[in-house]
Structure 1
Amino acid sequence: MVKRVRRFIWTAVLILVLTVLAACGTDNHAADNGVVPSANTGAVAAASSMPADAGSSTPAEAATRTVAGEFGDVEIPVNPQRIAGIYVEDYLKALGITPVVQWYHPSWGKQDYLNLDVPEFDVSGSIEALLEKDPDLIILDGGADAAKVEQYSKVAPTYRLPEQVLQDSRQMLTAIADALGVPEKAEVALAEYDQKVEDGKAKLQQALGQEKVAVIRLNVADKTFALFGVKNRYTGVIYDQFGLTPIPMAAEMTDYQAIISEEVIPELEADHIIVFPDHGGWDTAENQEAVQVLAGPLWKNLPAVKKGNIYKMERSHWQSGAITANAMKLDDLLEAMVK
């Protein structure tokens, strides 16, 4: 009886030793064949070296790639599923992507024209509020400096768009699509947009010729106006893409906008005036006192007003320079100016 027990024990020990030796041989063979994770794709490489029947795998979302942001290279997920695009939700929607939040500011509101059914993220509050939304990628535009990017990076990998693309909505769409690994979606969206612009530009030029256009914003709180120049990222598109002719003052501006009083409006000598409030809508209760300025005698005597060439626009997409908003601006202009 004792002999049989001893034989069983020695047999078990022998099997254990053989198993350990076999494992060591397998590891050495893998190392000899260069199966070593790289710095950027460690999780993926390690997963690919595992046997198919190992019983566990690494999802594709765990892989990362390097993109060049404004403040250096950033490691971002290859296949992000939960994207927070602060101020760039328009571009995500154009690419068929729904963000996990939509930016909101108590003084500015949000981009209502996107009709997004997602939670709001108050950009004036704590960035930590994003944590509960669990984004795996955050995309920022030019409103974020290096310090702000660092704060967002504590929540999730953060890609801040390079400064050189911010002036052109086409380039912004392309940069975002490239970062997300879907360049083909940007190509389709841009082809449709460019065709729309080409057709619309021809109609506008035929209707207006060289008649001069001014874009102004009614600042409700102090009843002043902001004249938008040709370099304005919100509305410069109507000049450089849609072919409209700016008034001289707007054409000469190097700043995005200039605050002017009501008395300056006649000096603009605009044939057409586009105007929108800085917050809320034309029917918003708190805007009504400021809106009455447009009904005063000074405005009524403007040549543009007498000709019916003043256009009250919805501020949400007119205060965005993104690709969807720009297409909507073109629709507004065609409806208002082309008879």
Structure 2
Amino acid sequence: MASSKKMTVILATILLVAMIGLSGCAANGGSSSSTNNNQTTQGNSTATPESSPVPEEDATRTVKDQFGEVTVPAHPQKVAGIYMEDYLKALDVSPVVQWYHPLWGTQEYLKLTSPTWDITGDMEKLLAYEPDLIFVDGGADATMYEQYSKVAPTYRIPDSALQDPRLILTTVADVLGIPEKAEQLLSDYDKQVAETKSLLHEKIGDETVAVLRINISDKSINILGYKNRFIGATLYHDLGLKAPKMVEEMEAFIDLISMEAIPDLNADHLIILPSNGNWESPENQEAISNLFESPIWKSVPAVKNGHVYKVERSHWQTGAILANKLKMNDLTAIFSK
């Protein structure tokens, strides 16, 4: 009797252990997906900020500019380019604001619809446009750069690139994260340079070309030098035009030239532009007449030979990619006649 009871207890114990084991296996097999999901959810909920993926719009990277390293957005959305809108437009980037100067206006040739910001005014007003990245060129020294940097991350083009619009374009494109766009633009640009250079060589050969500017405010005249990055880099370097000796020997970017010295310039061809507005602007007529009606001016060989060409100042007073393409269009039209 005792033995029978003992056997019953043993069998019951074995049965209970077997049931527990089966229950455990069933639980593990039937809920493995759920467990994994629970573990994944728990892992996400307890992740530290360092291990969380950074939203694409918040990603940044560090690049080196003229004044050191600067952290910029990896995918900027609201870009300002102070007097550098040409490069932005060439890269199909709409600037959030455009450069404006009370004396010189805007870069009209770009035909931008962006609101204007007066660079002679209050820097804080730039804040209203909420740029997340600002480009500045050689016009911004260290002090100005610091002021811009208080508005948004600011990239100052290195001095080593300032003389070459190609380098400026590729630099801007790299900082924006779109280097491939610059490659195609430069391919088209260099093709136009080669075509224009060939035409000019055929039409005028070694005849000399100089560029003058009428300063509307004081009726003075400027001569633009061989080292002028807006003019010299395109006309004399890229296109191979020959500069008069006076221009070739200039160290200055731009200089004054007296009326009496214009005949000594001895240029075969003269390209001329007003400093403000355009040739038809009423406020420009006195300064224009002061030059064109001068007996000294009329005695200049280039004037006598009809080799004076009036161009619009907007794209001739900058050396950016789109402006240079317009210069080449002008030169092609002038010397194809």
**TM-score, structure 2 as length reference:** 0.85
Separation in structure 2 between the aligned mates of residue 150 and residue 330 of structure 1, nearest angstrom: 36
Partner of 1:95: 91
How many residues align? The count is: 297
After superposition, the C-alpha distances for 1:63-122 in whole angstroms (9 at most, x for unaligned) are 001110110100000000100000100000110111011100101211100000110010
Q: Does 1:230 align with 2:226?
A: yes
Partner of 2:166: 170
Partner of 1:300: 298
Separation in structure 1 between the aligned mates of residue 45 and residue 60 of structure 2, nearest angstrom: 27
Match of residue 256, structure 1, among 253, 256, 275: 253
Match of residue 140, structure 2, among 128, 138, 144: 144
Q: Does 1:318 align with 2:323?
A: no
Give the C-alpha shift of residue 131 in structure 1: 0.9
Query: Does the residue aligned with 1:147 lie in a helix, a strand or coil?
Result: helix
Letter in 1 for 2:250: M
After superposition, the C-alpha distances for 1:274-323 in whole angstroms (9 at most, x for unaligned) are 01011111111111100002132222221111211100110000000101
Separation in structure 1 between the aligned mates of residue 128 and residue 269 of structure 2, nearest angstrom: 47
Q: Does 1:153 align with 2:145?
A: no
After superposition, the C-alpha distances for 1:221-269 in whole angstroms (9 at most, x for unaligned) are 2211111111101101111001110010111111111111111111101
Pick closer, same or farther for the CA change 1:27–1:161 going to 2, 3 Å: same
**Unpaired runs of 5+ in structure 1?**
1-21, 38-45, 49-57
After superposition, the C-alpha distances for 1:161-211 in whole angstroms (9 at most, x for unaligned) are 111100000000010001111000000000000000101100001100100
Separation in structure 1 between the aligned mates of residue 314 and residue 250 of structure 2, nearest angstrom: 24
Partner of 1:3: none
- Mean CA deviation greater in 183-192 or 220-229: 220-229
Give the C-alpha shift of residue 29 in structure 1: 9.1
Letter in 2 for 1:209: G
Partner of 2:52: 47
Match of residue 288, structure 1, among 269, 285, 290: 285
Q: Does 1:247 align with 2:252?
A: no
Separation in structure 1 between the aligned mates of residue 201 and residue 244 of structure 2, nearest angstrom: 15
Match of residue 112, structure 2, among 89, 111, 116: 116
**TM-score, structure 1 as length reference:** 0.84
Partner of 2:81: 85
Higher percent of residues as helix: 2
Match of residue 214, structure 1, among 198, 205, 210: 210
- Mean CA deviation greater in 299-308 or 317-326: 299-308
Give the C-alpha shift of residue 47 in structure 1: 3.2
Q: Does 1:127 align with 2:123?
A: yes
Query: Does the residue aligned with 1:230 lie in a helix, a strand or coil?
Result: coil
Separation in structure 2 between the aligned mates of residue 26 and residue 168 of structure 1, nearest angstrom: 52
- Mean CA deviation greater in 146-155 or 199-208: 146-155
Give the C-alpha shift of residue 28 in structure 1: 12
Give the C-alpha shift of residue 59 in structure 1: 3.4
Q: Aligned-residue CA RMSD in angstroms?
A: 1.9
Separation in structure 1 between the aligned mates of residue 45 and residue 217 of structure 2, nearest angstrom: 73
Partner of 1:55: none
Partner of 2:17: none
Partner of 2:66: 70
Letter in 2 for 1:60: E
Separation in structure 2 between the aligned mates of residue 202 and residue 47 of structure 1, nearest angstrom: 58
Query: Does the residue aligned with 2:120 lie in a helix, a strand or coil?
Result: coil
Query: Does the residue aligned with 1:246 lie in a helix, a strand or coil?
Result: coil
Separation in structure 2 between the aligned mates of residue 261 and residue 283 of structure 1, nearest angstrom: 24
Moved over 4 A (4+): 25-30
Give the C-alpha shift of residue 337 in structure 1: 1.5
Give the C-alpha shift of residue 338 in structure 1: 2.2
Give the C-alpha shift of residue 36 in structure 1: 7.4
Give the C-alpha shift of residue 27 in structure 1: 8.5
